[in-house]
Amino acid sequence: MANIENRKFIALDISGKNYLSWVLDVKLHLSAKKLRHTIEEENAATNEERATALIFLRHHIDDGLKYEYLTVKNPFELWQNLNYRFEHLKAVVLPKALND
């Protein structure tokens, strides 16, 4: 539970129910840390930037997701994997939000 206190925002739930807000939070925080380019394709990030971004991403995902993507060592690859896994939720959540 001590980890929760160090998080900047709520970690991505393994079900993906908070994926959309998590994506926005990650992008904002990585932008503030000047690391957003680390989750973009064909970036020129240094090894140190990649490591810092990967630590940040892993710190803000559910423990089950951490273990599932344990071997991923590139923040862009982790970002893509999570996007592939949860992107479909936009089609479910956004139309509902528009109707509310």
| Per-residue pLDDT tens over the stretch 18-34 | 999 999 999 999 999 99
Q: Is residue 59 part of a domain?
A: yes
Q: Is residue 9 part of a domain?
A: no
Q: Is residue 73 part of a domain?
A: yes
Q: Which token pair is 1?
A: 């539970």
| pTM of the complete model | 0.81
Q: Is residue 82 part of a domain?
A: yes
**Sequential DSSP letters for 33-85:** TT-GGGGSTT----HHHHHHHHHHHHHTB-HHHHHHTTT---HHHHHHHHHHH
pLDDT at 33: 95
Identify the CA nearest to 29 among candidates 45, 51, 50, 7. Answer: 7
- Check residues 50 and 91 and name the one with the higher pLDDT: 50
Number of domains in the chain: 1
| CA dihedral for 36, 44, 63, 16, sign (positive or negative) | positive
The overall average pLDDT reported for the chain is: 86
Q: Is residue 38 part of a domain?
A: yes
The residue range of the domain holding 82 is 18-91
Q: 35, 53 in Cβ contact below 8 A?
A: yes
Q: Is residue 42 part of a domain?
A: yes
Q: What is the SS3 assignment for 9?
A: coil
Q: Is residue 5 part of a domain?
A: no
Q: What is the pLDDT of residues 45-72, one digit of tens each?
A: 999 999 999 999 999 999 999 999 999 9
